[in-house]
Structure formats: structure tokens, C-alpha cells
Structure 1
Amino acid sequence: MLSDEQENILSYNGEVLIFQLSKAKCAAEKTTRLHVNRMAYDSGTKLFVQKSSGLFSMHGGSLNIKIVRCSCTADFRTGINLPCILMRKKKNNSVFKYFLLLLHSSNKFEQCLNFKLDYELKNDIRLLNGPTVLWRHAKKLFYVSTKTCTVLSASVQFSSIEWADEIENEGIVVLGTRTACLPEEKDGQTLSLSDGAIWGSEFVVYAIENQKILTGICFLPHAYSSVISCVHVCRTAISRSQFRTSVVAITHKKQLIWFQDGLPKGICQLPYEEPCSIQVATTSRNDVLYVVSFASGNVCAVQRDSFQVASRWQEVTSVLVDDFIGTGTEQILLLFKNESNTDNLSTFIITDLGEVSYESNINCKEDFPPTEELQENGFLTIQALEARLQAGYTSVRELQQHLRLKEKVLFESCCALIDLVQEREHILPTAEEEGLVSLWDDTENLHPLDKKMTLTSEVPEYLIEKLWQRVVDDSLVIGVKITESPNLSLNDVSLSLVMEHDFTSVSPVIECQSKIVKLNKTFSALSISSCQMEPQPKRIKLDFHSENDLKKEYPRRPSKIPSDGAKTFVAVTRLSPLLAFRDICCMILLHAKRRKYQDGNLQESRQLTLLCGKISLCLEDISSGKYSVNLLRNDSHCTGIMEDIFAILAISLKFSFQIVSSDCTLTPVNMWLLSQMECMPIKECPENMFCHKLGSLHGTIFNWNLQTPFEGTLTLFCRNQTVLFQCLHSLLGVLPPTCKVKPLRLESKDILTDQFALALEKEMVTLRSSFSSAVSEVENNLTLSCEAGKKMSRVTVSSLSDKKEAVRQFREELQNEQKQSALGMNRTVSGALYRQITLEITEAQLCSDTIAWRLNIS
């Protein structure tokens, strides 16, 4: 049996590693063995059990070999954290040999570093990433790593090392104290004794890899340098070339102080003497605990939020922080003294001061006296926790009800959509089936929705000419071309893509954007209307402009679209999510509000849903370029089909700029488009030019409208703003310096001026008609009231014979007339009429104010 000489405990990835240094039975054999036992917590037996073990043999007696320090550090070769053990072997002539061992997952030890010193390491020894060994000797800082392999010294002196770790962009950084350099006053006199006592020492931060001194005042104030015994840096960041830090430190006066950016923010009085170390644990409730160990074997835990002592223990031999039970958060492992059992892991506590609490062979309780005050506090705490539990249970129950309601709504929506696509009538469930109760006294008979309002399988006046699809970058573009009849128009148009497959985990409605394009020979830059994002799984109608609204918006622009013209409706959606389903088939639905006119009057308006057809999509077709855009380059122009142009415009962003030159003509713009941008007119719409330049500019469409030799409008259809900035940068390089480039909205000042005049006229007419209706209502009510009063008076007077009674009656009549006269002077209207007038006037004023604002910024 081995005779243990030394033992060290370390936590690694939720396991407890026990390192034992021992020698064999035979005294003649001078071989020392380093054993390691991997212990893991078993949730079944509530004990630590051994998983595996390892062995490393060293030549020499156990009295000359010693474990100096154990820690987990990162190996620079792999970046993986591994247990690291620093060993010391004493040789003759007071020469000490140190070697560093790495423990791999296979329990194999690797000697990665060794060095010799003529003195023994005693003060401020740290094992850091690399691995790197750092220590202090004779007020000097020394370090050696597997990269350097030689012992190096720093140029700065340290009285003590308080903290050392790695900081981003700075490497390994050491925080320590040194003797302060006292500056002299202006008159040559030194500082007073009180100032010297305060500045007798100061904090210094040194980056060993960059070999430079950093400012230490952002970590801790210099005034604390003589009273700090232990430091832990919780967070470091660099903002505007300055360190942003969060530090907790322990003083010799039993105080735990929290510093934020070098300023004290909180203080906690510790319960025991001689605090020596501090660890940080993040628990299951996202609480942060500062675990403070004391030289006497006592331990306490301080909560970060309240910054008060949450718990404390006595007779503790070791404290480890790790995820021992495998919950994804950290717990505190406390090992206690046990004289009857040689196993150090037989008496322990695992806790996070919350939901986790495991004990084994614990006879002593926490160091809190069982006083009546604590019992009362415990009773109050239990009551508060019960109330909190009840509130949480109520919230969970309400959330479950809400989730069930959402699932029910989604299920009914999917059923309604399937019935709509399959041309079946969808009947909504009754109020009794849904468990609904009317809030009104009367009840209404609910009838099923009219089929004519939901689905129209016939296509009487509309003819769907073509259904097409294109793939541009990561976008799928679907186009539907229809032809209108002269007496019909479409409003509130949108397209829906519905997957034909039955996917229970996703919504069948695909999220997409809808746009409308008018097809004509002179293809205008104003043909693309605004688009809105369609939510998933519900669809919102898009408020597109009707043909009459387009004429009002652009009254001075000649329209070459015939009354019996063609329109193309486009839907754009992301392509990559669809490819996750491999082969996909979608049905294309067109939703609109159909308006039928006869002799210029609206005869009928109803909802319309058309099944335009189906599209199929697979990765093989995309790879072969079946649906790719292909604009061929000819001698003096490029040609293709209009669907390719529509697809490019559908995914592009539109920008318009007004270019004005006061000194010279704008001829360089044409030269810039043809030469530098390598643009060619599109044969199908010559006003637009397609950019064939290789790179990110390829596929950009330009529209140059030269109004006068000194003024023109340039419209760009580009895929993103980066391309826009590249085009503008190139354009400004060829334009004269006196040229002015101004971004434009869709509306010109002339159009906005006409719209503003019409809006003001509409507002004035609304005011006049509203006041006229109010006055008419008041006068009618007053006239009827007066006539009723007079008629009653005449009837009453004709039946009277007594004079005194007649005088009294006439006096009452006079009083009624006075009241009527007062009412005539103070006329009021009904609440319903007042709300109607206010709404009409507000809408008219909002319209005129909006146009005035657009005119101001244009």
C-alpha cells in the first residue's frame, strides 16, 4: 500500500482530480510516483465515485520532490484547457529543478517545460495560459513559458502580485503593487508625512508579452494598495483606449469591496479573520456568488446583488467551484475535515444557495445560531416563497391557455386556407362551440361567409396570361401577368405562396413581399410600387394605388398604358429556407378587391381570390441555371425577356438623384454610363441601361432622363446601398466640381404642388359642409321645439276662462320663449354629429399636412 506524502485537489470539467505524491514500500527504490484519481459525482448514490486513474513515475525520493501548484491552463498548441501541475525537485548545492506536467484526457502525463533555479519558489506563484509559470522573487517579476523555454524577467519591480490573467489584445497582464515614486512639490519640498503614508505604495499593471506598463488606476485606487490582500478581476474591456473593469478585492480589515472602473461601489463586512482567497460562482438562477476562504478553515458566500453574506461554513478543508452535477451552471463543493475516514470526498456539501443542495455525512450545521429572530425570518421567507410560487403557477397557467388559443387560431387558419385553395366552403365554429358568451342582451344569427366574398374559381373578365419564376442571388421571384378589361380594376392586390406538401411543424404560407409592375413599351422608372412585408402565417392586404390614384399622383406624366393594358404582379421571397425541403411545390394565389364599373359608376366591389397556378423548385434546376436571369449582350444593346428585367427590378432598391450643372452641360453622364460603367440600353425598354461591368456593379440598371442640357434626373436600381455608394463615387469623379447632386423622392415639386392645392380645397369644402350640416341640425331642432311649445300654449289658452289663470299661463309662455331665445344663442349639436365632423376635418387636415411636409423636404 502506498504511503501518501502529499495531496492536492483540483476541479476540471465537473470532475474532482486528486493528485497524490507517494513512494513505494521498498526504501532502496528511489522512485516517486504521482497518482491522479478522477472522481465524479453520482446522482444515484449521492457520492463521488472514481472514474479513472493515472500514474507518473519520477526518479528521486519523495522528500526531495514536491507539488508546488495545480491549476487549469490552456495549451497554446490546441487552445484546450488542461490540468497543469508544477513540480519541484531539489538537487545538491541548493539547486532546484522545476518541471511542468500536463494531464490529458487519457490520464497520460506530458512534461512540457523544465527549468532550474538557484532559489526556491515561495512567493506569488501563478500558472497561466501557455502554459506559463509566473512568480516574484526579490521584488522582481520572472516568467517562463513553453514558447520561450527560458526564464525572463520584467523591467518593473513588484512588491506583491495580486492578480494575473489574460486580457484580449494585451496578452498576459499582471496586477501588483510596488513602492510609490513620490513626486516633488514645486518649491522643491517633498510631500508631507500624511501624503507619504497614503502613497507609500501603488498599483501597477504590466503586460508581459508587450512589455509595457498599463494604467492601474482603472482597476483599483492607489490608496487601497497597502490594505488589499486578495483581488479578483471579474470583467475587463477596452472602450475608447481605456480599460473598463469590474473588480472585487479583500482588505486586511475583513472587508469585501466591489470596484467599478476604479471606483468603489459596494462594501461587505466579512464574518471571519484572515481572508486569503476569493472565487466566483454563477448559479442556476443567474446569481453570482463570491466565495471567500479564510486561513482558519472557514468559508462564506456573498451574493453579488445584495452584496451581503448569504451563508457561511466552518472546518472546511477545500473549496471548489464547478458544474459537479451537470446542470450547465456552477455549484460550490465544500470538503470538510473527517478524522474517522481517510477519504477526503466522503464528507462534503454541494450547493448553489438555491435549488441545488446535496450533503453527505454532515454532522455540523451552518454557522448560524438558531435564534428566535432567525426562525421568524425563516417563517416570513417561507410565506413569501409560497406567495411567489402561487403567482408563478398562475402565470404559467395563463401562458398555457394563451398557447392553446394560439394553436387553435393557427389550426383554424390553416383549415380555412386549405378550404380556400380547394374551393370548398369554410364554416366557422359557432359561439357555443367556442365557449363564447355575448356581452350584449340581444343575439345575432351568424351566417357562413358568402362564397363570392372568399373564393372565385371563375375568371370572367380577368385573363391570366403567364406565370413565371426566376432565381436572383438568394431570392425567388414569382410573377403573374394578367390583363384587365376596360370596365374593371383591381385594388389591394397581393400574392400568396402556399406549400402544397403537408408540413405539420411549419406554416404552409411562405413569407414574401409583393410588388406591382405596369408593362408598357416605354417602361417608366415609376412603375414599381412600394411593397410591404407579409407576416407569417397571416397575410395583410397591401394598399396599392389603383389606376385612378396613379393618375392623381402623377397627373403631368403622360401615360401610354391603354385602358385594356397588362399588369405584372411580383412576389419575392428568400430562397435558402425553401431549399431545406428539397423538392417543393407551391400554389400561387392572387388576392384583390375587384371593382366593376359601368358608365363611369361603381357597380360592384367584392373580394377576389384567384388560383394562378403552381410552381416547382428543386436544387438541380437551380444548379443548372434553369431559372437564372440571362440578359444577352449584343452589338449596341442588350436583350432578353421582360421577365428577367422584372426579376432584377423586384429585388433592387430604387434611388433617384437630380443633377444640376450651372457652368457646363451634362454630357459626361452619358459618357460615364457607356464607358466606365459599361452600360448598354435594354432593347425592350431603351430608356433603361443595363450595367455589364464585372464585379458587384453587374446587374445595376440606370435610367438617365436629361430634361435640359444643364439638368437631369438619374435613377438607379441596385441590389444594396454599397453598390449605390460605388456608383455615386464613380459619378462624382467625372462630374465638374460645380455640379450639384440632390436625392429625390418619387414625387416632383410640381406634382406635390398640385396635390397640395387639391388637398387644401378638399379641406375647405369639408369644413364648409360640416358646419352647414351642424347649423341645419340645430335650427331644425330649435324650430320643432318652438312650434311644439306654441301649439301647446294655444291649446291651453283657448280652454281657459278665468283671467287670473290666463295671466299665469301667459307668464309661463313668456318664460318659455325666453328659454328658447337663450337656447338659440347657445346652440349645441349631438355627440354623434360632433364626432363625425371632427373625424372628417382631421382626415382632411392630416392629408394636407402630409403633402405640405413632403413638399418641404423635396
Structure 2
Amino acid sequence: MQSDEQEKILPYNGEVLIFQLSKAKCAAEKTRLHVNRMAYDSDTNIFIQKSSGLFSMHGGSLNIEIVCCGCTADFRTGINLPSILMRKKKSNSTFKYFLLLLHSSNEFEQCLHFKLDYELKDDIKLLNGPTILWRHTNKIFYISTKTCTVLSASVQFSSIEWADEVEKEGIVILGTRTVCFPEEKDGQTLSKSDGAIWGGEFVVYAIENQKTLSGTCFLPHAYSSVISCVHVCRTNISRSPFRTSVVAVTHKKQLIWFQDGLPKDVCQLPYEEPCSLQVAATSENGLLFIVSFASGNVCVVRKDGFQVASRWQEVKSVLIDDFIGTGTEQILLLFKDISSTSSLTTFIITDIGEVSYASGIRSKEDCLPEEGPQEHGFFTIQALKARLQAGYNSVRELQQHLRLKEKVLFESCCALIDLVHGREHILPTAEEEGLVSLWDDMEDLHPLDKKMALTSEVPEYLVEKLWQRVVDDSLVVGVKIRESPNLSLNDVSLSLVMGHDFSSVSPVIECQSKLVKLNKTFSAMSISSFQLEPQPKKIKLDLHSNNDLKKEYHRRSSKILSDGAKTFVAVTRLSLLLAFRDIRCIILLHAKRRKYQDGNLQESKKLTMLCGKISLCLEDISNGKYSVNLLRNNSHCTDTIEDLYAILAVSLKFSFLIVSSDCTLTPVNMWLLTQMECVPIKECPEYMFCHKLGSLHGTIFSWNLKTPFEGILTLFCRNRTILLQCLHSLTGVLPPTCKIKLLRLESKDILIDQFAVALEKEMVSFRSCFSSTVSELENNLTQSYEAGEKRSGVTVSSLSGKKEAVQQLREKFQNEQKQSALNMNRTVSGALYRQITLKIAEAQLCSDTIAWRLNVS
């Protein structure tokens, strides 16, 4: 690089952007800002230029310079773009600043410009918006594309340690300021040691809300005088108490990990004068903390273990991004090379694991990182742990094998003794041998029979909870079923049967049955049918001799139980029931189960189970006993999940796919929180409840953002008029280029499961039809061949002459040739062929229908 050029390097989306400012030699010439997009080529192990751009400015050789650069989000589109802050010095000692955005087409856009009577030097930050933040004479100033004017904060900072955007709070600043020491009651001031510790304090300030918060949730005040640089890994300051995760570097050569304002771990750094701290998220090693020093040295600390993993010397700059396209971040180290004019000649790309690329390294010392005793100790301990675990597993396998051999020898001896004495040897049962099924044995459910009582044949552990809710003119009854691996219900429906004898009406109440499954993410899903596997056997593990295996067994069992809860819902009209004054209803659950018998898939008869009884009267409804509390107060609501199920059961569901090609879909979330006045439900945060007064009150939204440019919005509303109101309000905040598509009710995950089951049924139909047909043809062919053999044998034995015998043998040989041809060209009757074709066509029609629904969804 020439002396009249200024260079800045910035990583962006896996590329390296090199900004070079070629200054003009006189005022008549233009100063040019060049940008080169460089991408790493793993085949040639070099960075190659993909494209370039140019921006021209008027100014002399000393008038324009680059202040700083970074990646910020544009509030118009929500897309992160490279931004460059430029400074131009005027003749009257004033400074003009302007911010440039670099687009994907390599075109520069000037989005901000302002003038100051002083030079920016201290704590300059480029934040989203874009927003420029700086400190001058212990005051905080900022300007953004929304304000377009320089504003000042109402607090004073002696330094800015960290600034970024936090959800629901906007831009938040973490800084330090000096404190005044209060005098004690006897007039004596604090000691010098106390003054050294509490001479400064951490303060958190939210710019948009103009709110000052305590900084102790980030860092203790005692570290305010020794902190060099800070990186906040996780924040949630919108809740109380605050939840933070911070890593900081001190002047004492220490890297400290703070959790909720308390120090958790510390690592001693190998070099003096740390100046910057960066964080990389890699695949194997998790979080890596990269500390740069003023001398050009760099070291890497793993979060797991919190020890120095690697170190390098004579490093020019450190960049963090996904340079090789693996989906995780890597570290790009650019080394100082006097012999080369290019910045990307001598470099190393590594993730302190499997990824390691180097170029232009002349000596082995420059290429390999310095490995200290901490790293050797870490790898040694890991290797010893792995060897110890492998040895333990080998010993356990040998013990199991030895016990198995002893059992075989014992059974062989018993069988030999029985054989000598002439007794019949009885083999031990599966339970005595410790053999259990890979799948638990199916426990037969006793269906309700006319001669059997309802309450005595149903396992009590199946029905976990029975509840009822009243929503508008609908009665919602829910039954929560706790399934187990040996019990699977399909084609489930609920029935409401009146407990009294009404001669004029039918005792069965007309209702609509639905199913809501509660999984780990608290989402409402439809049930997908699956098939039970056969019951092979395995050797039972000795849980009493191994505590770890016992814990694992109980952990898996509890996981199965926690994931097996399903809620079945029945909805019926309330006004018809209230005509009978006091109502007592019996809740029955009807279901089917799938099972294998003789290798073929079969369905059992329909089962009927008693779930419980409910009572209903007009007085309870008037007192609000069964009302949905979620519609009135979400903060003090109990049984929120049941209320949510009741609202979803009586609401109309609409799903819309929203796609934006130019801008991100950030306005959708803001629209839900502001215009719709939605609040996430505490027990199910992915659903948002609308508290807006009017007809929209009670509407439930679910916003699933798949990518920044694509998402699915699901609405649960009482009628279509509310749907149109919501869509009208939504289109007002979305850009005109957004596309909204109505999706079908079936989700793709459910259709995929149904499609897999349909294909399996089709395969089973093919196998059963052709196997039965082939076996039938082989039996008929064998019978006809044996009959021909008998006839030919009798004829040959009765002949006396040689000529007649030869002729008979010739005819026998011809018959065998015809039989062989028939064996190669088998045919079936027309009736059997029509039967096979009909069964296969029905199976294919089912799978083709689901495939079409999956294609159009």
C-alpha cells in the first residue's frame, strides 16, 4: 500500500472487504474510495477477488480520511450492510462527517452527514439504524437515520465499555462514571483503598427510553477501574431481575466470566496490554474468546474449560466470520509481512479444531500456534478420560459375556442330566432368562361390552385430567390422556352422554371432536398415525449393579411420559343443554389401536373408555365458574393451557405465508406488539393474545419466522370479519413488495408423516398381494406336475415294446419342457387380477392424494 492510501479491512457474509482510500494530490482532483470483495478459495488456498466498487469525493490529500467501519442494520430493510464513517476537515477548523452504506451491487449510498466543531476520538460506535454514537467531554452524543440530527444523552460517562441493541429497550450503553464519596457520620472520609475500589461505577443507559439502569447486573462496581474491554454474550434486561452473561478483560492480564453480575471463572492471559476482545461461535469448541494485545500478539481462550488454547505473534488484524462456508465461524489471522503489499498474503484460518488453513507462512513457528502447558494439560485430561471410559465399557462387556457363558453351561448341564435320566428338559421362560421385549408388551384394553361396567375396565393412569370451559355459546370439554409406549390410540373421538333418562330426546349430545397435542414447544398439532413394530427380544440390563444405567433408564422413562400427553377436545352448543336446567354428562372416549399379527398389519375393534363425568347448570355459568380467564386477565390467570385449548377449539384457523424479497419481516412482530396490543402467553410464549379493545379482543396470533425474509402467520379468530380487519391492518405496515399466501390447514410436518404412512401401506399391499398370488400359483403348478408324473409313470411301466417306451419318454420330455415354460410365464385369472389391481389402486390413490396436498401446501 502506498503512503498516500488508507486501508480498512472488514468481514461481511464470509467475504473480506478491503477499503482503500486513494487521496487526491490537489484540491482539483477527486479522492477515491475503492472496495474489493475477496473470497477464500480452498482449492488454491488464496483469497481471490470477486468484485470491486468505487466512490469519488472532492477533497485534498489531507482533508478526507476513514474514521471507522462496521456492519449495521438498515432500518428501512432490516438487512445488515457494511458502513464506513468518513471525515472531511474544513478550512475553518470544522469537521464534516458522513456515513456510507455499501450495497450488494458495490454501490455506495450516503445516508448520514453532520458537522462538528471538534474531532471524534473517544469511544466511537456504529450501531443498527444506522446509528453513530460517540463520547466527548464525558457526554454522550448520537445521530441516526431516523433523527438526522445530533442528540445528546442526559447522563455522563467517563468511558463507554459496550453498546448494542437489546430487545424491547432499543440501543443500550454500558459505561463507567466517577462517583462522589459520601462522608461518614463522624466526619471522616473513606479510606484510600475504598476510594480506589469505588472510585467509579457501571451505569446502563437506554437511549430511546431515556432510562438509567444499574450496571451491577452486568459487572460489579469494583471492576470499574481495571476493565479494559467488555463483550456481552447474552442480555435480557427487560425482565426483573436482569439476566446477563458478560466476559471482560482487565489491565491485570485477566479474562473474567461474569454471570448475572457475579464472577464465575477467570483465566490468566499470557501478554501485557490487552486492547480488544472478540467472540467466535465454532462448531466443536463452542464459544472462543479472542484477545488482541497492543504488541501484536493474539491468544484464544475456550469457554469450555476457560483456558488459553492457542496464541500467535506479529498479528496485523483478527477477523471473525464463516470464510470457508461451513455454517459456523472461523478466525482469520492476518500477519505482518513487509515483503508483500497485499494484506491477504500471509494468513491463517482456524477454529482451534479440525479447520486449519495457512498461506504465506515461511517458518513453522509462524504457522503453528504456541501451545502452553494449559493446552497440553487440557488435551491430556481429555485423552485420559476417553481411555478410562473405554476401559470401563470393555470390562462391563466382558462381565456380561462371562455371565452369559455361565448360563449357557449351566443350562447345557441340566439338559444333559435330564437326557441321561430320560426326563423331558423344560426350557426356562423369557422372564427367568432376563429377556424383555425391545418394545414393551401390549396390554390389552378391555373394550366396553354391554355386560361389563364402564368404570372397571379402563386403566386409571390413562386419564390424567378432565376439564370444561364455556366460550360464548359453546361448551368445550377436554380430556388429557397420558399415553405409554405400549398403548397408542388412533381415530380418537369423544362422546357426551346424558346421565339422566330423557325419553323425549337422544341421550347422546351432538358434538365436534378435536385433538390437541402438547409437545415440548407447546404447539397445537394434529395427531399422525403410526404403526407398532413386532416384539423382538433383547437381554435385560442389570440395573441393580449399575447406578448409571438405572438413572438412564428412569430418565428415559420420565421423558416418554412427559412427551406422551395428548388432549382431546369436544365442542358442542351450550344453549341446547341449558334448556334441561341441570345437566350431568358422562364423557366417553372412542379409539382404535394398530397391531401386527402374523406379520400383517391389522386394526383392532373400536375401544370405548370412560373418562369421567361433568355437571353443568345455569347458575354456575352466570357466576363465571367455567369462564375462560385468559379473555379477562392474562397476568393472574391459572390453567392457561386449558383456556388456550378452549379458545383454539372454537376459533377459525387461518395460516398465511408472508414472503418479502427486499426487506426483512421485522415490522410483523412490531405490528403484533403495538397495533394489535398482543402479549405472549406465559405458559405458551409462541402464541400471542390480543388485548385490544373491540372486536379483535381475544384473537390469538402465532408468528413463526423461518428466515428474515419468510414467515408464517397463524390467526385464530371468531369469524371472518375479524380476519379481514387483521389483514387490512397488516397490509398497512408491510412493504408493497410483500406477498401473502393463504396456506391450507394441514401443516407440512403432519402431511409428511401421513405420506410416509400411506407409502408404507402401499408397500405392504404390494407385498401381500404378490406373495399370496405367487404362492397360490406355485401350489397349483406343483400339483399338476405331480399328477402328470404319476400318469406318465403308469404308462411307461405298462408298455412292453422298446419302440413304445421310447415314444412315451419323448412325450414325457416334451411335457417337462412345457411345464418349464409355464413356470417361466405364469398367468393369473381375470378375477384375481382385478382384485389385486383394485387393492393396489386404492393404496396408490391414498398416497397420491396426500402427495398432491403436500405439493400445494
TM-score (norm 2): 0.50
Larger Rg, first or second structure (1 or 2):
1
TM-score (norm 1): 0.50
